[in-house]
């Protein structure tokens, strides 16, 4: 499940990263707690040069009333046990709510990080999951659709994030699913008109060694609470991270000459990385 995520990169950074332009830049701003029903940035296969603001929580075009299908299981109705070693059919291709969209209406869901919690406690014990090496923004694999309210004639466009089995990181958190994060080199393939088997082959868990997570304030579970402070770490990262400092040591040699030697010291970034730590 992925029902909360974060977009705090500047619009110019996002436009440069994805080589796009925002269709309505005035609507764009930091989004520290994107929740179901919120408008959020996506790039669709229909208009791959533009950032659009669509509603998080898909309503299929055929629906009689508004729906909020915020996640689409890549396995569809298969793998109900959420086995991490599942390698069977991608049932999303036959699921009524998603079978049309996975074929013709795919999108990149722009993100900087996302939130998950243990299966039992959920967002009462939240963790912020992010890309290491400041590798953001990135894109979830998404599907979209447009729905017409027959009573008012209003058209709403919405999207869903595709999920897959848990990777090592979400398992350590105690969560049973993970969103599909696309590698940068696969993003254009996701938007392109490709054979369905090539598309579904991309629906795999992202390598956990390229991700990390830390605990954050439980207040994030309230959808209306959008304070950036809530993204600050309240404890250590799941996997230790290190930085290196370069120091130069000088030694006196004969004839008054000196020689230098570079020494690299490893520092544990977890130390002191509590409430006053930096984001991601």
Q: What are the pLDDT digits (tens) for 66-81?
A: 999 999 999 999 999 9
pLDDT in tens, 74-105: 999 999 999 999 999 999 999 999 999 999 99
Which residue would you say has higher pLDDT here, 268 or 53? 53
Which residue would you say has higher pLDDT here, 21 or 245? 21
pLDDT at 222 over 50: yes
**What is the model's pLDDT at position 246?**
53
**What is the model's pLDDT at position 268?**
58
**What is the model's pLDDT at position 27?**
83
The residue-averaged pLDDT of 231-235 equals 96
The residue-averaged pLDDT of 198-217 equals 97
**What is the model's pLDDT at position 280?**
81
**What is the model's pLDDT at position 279?**
74
pLDDT at 3 over 90: yes
For the domain covering 4-231, report its CATH number. 3.90.1680.10
| Distant-in-sequence, close-in-space partners of 241: CB < 8 Å, separation ≥ 6 | 132, 212, 268, 269, 270
**What is the model's pLDDT at position 277?**
46
The residue-averaged pLDDT of 105-115 equals 98
Q: What is the pTM for the complete model shown?
A: 0.89
**What is the model's pLDDT at position 239?**
94
pLDDT level of residue 198 (50, 70, 90 thresholds): very high
**What is the model's pLDDT at position 24?**
86
The residue-averaged pLDDT of 125-138 equals 96
Percent of the chain with pLDDT over 90: 82
pLDDT in tens, 243-265: 655 545 544 444 344 455 545 55
Least reliable range by pLDDT among 24-28, 78-82, 125-129, 231-235? 24-28
CA 4 vs. chain centroid, Å, equals 9
pLDDT at 230 over 50: yes
The residue-averaged pLDDT of 172-190 equals 97
């Amino acid at each position: 499940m992925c029902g909360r995520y974060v977009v705090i990169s500047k619009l110019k950074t996002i436009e440069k990263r994805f080589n796009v332009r925002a269709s309505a830049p005035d609507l764009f701003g930091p989004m520290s707690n994107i929740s179901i029903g919120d408008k959020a940035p996506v790039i669709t296969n229909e208009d791959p040069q533009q950032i659009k603001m669509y509603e998080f929580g898909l309503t299929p075009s055929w629906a009689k009333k508004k729906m909020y299908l915020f996640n689409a299981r890549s396995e569809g109705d298969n793998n109900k046990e959420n086995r991490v070693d599942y390698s069977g059919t991608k049932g999303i291709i036959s699921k009524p709510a998603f079978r049309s969209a996975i074929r013709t209406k795919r999108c990149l869901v722009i993100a900087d990080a996302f939130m998950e919690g243990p299966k039992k406690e959920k967002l009462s014990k939240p963790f912020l999951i992010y890309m290491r090496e400041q590798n953001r923004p990135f894109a979830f694999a998404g599907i979209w659709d447009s729905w017409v309210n027959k009573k008012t004639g209003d058209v709403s466009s919405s999207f869903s994030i595709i999920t897959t089995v848990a990777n090592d990181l979400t398992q350590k958190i105690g969560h049973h699913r993970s969103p599909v994060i696309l590698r940068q080199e696969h993003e254009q393939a996701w938007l392109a008109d490709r054979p369905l088997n090539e598309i579904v082959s991309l629906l795999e868990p992202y390598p956990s060694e390229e991700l990390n997570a830390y605990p954050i304030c439980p207040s994030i579970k309230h959808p209306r609470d959008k304070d950036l402070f809530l993204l600050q770490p309240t404890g250590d990262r799941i996997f230790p991270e290190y930085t290196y400092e370069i120091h130069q040591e000088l030694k006196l040699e004969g004839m008054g000459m000196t020689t230098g030697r570079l020494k690299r010291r490893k520092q544990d970034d977890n130390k002191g990385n509590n409430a006053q730590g930096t984001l991601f």
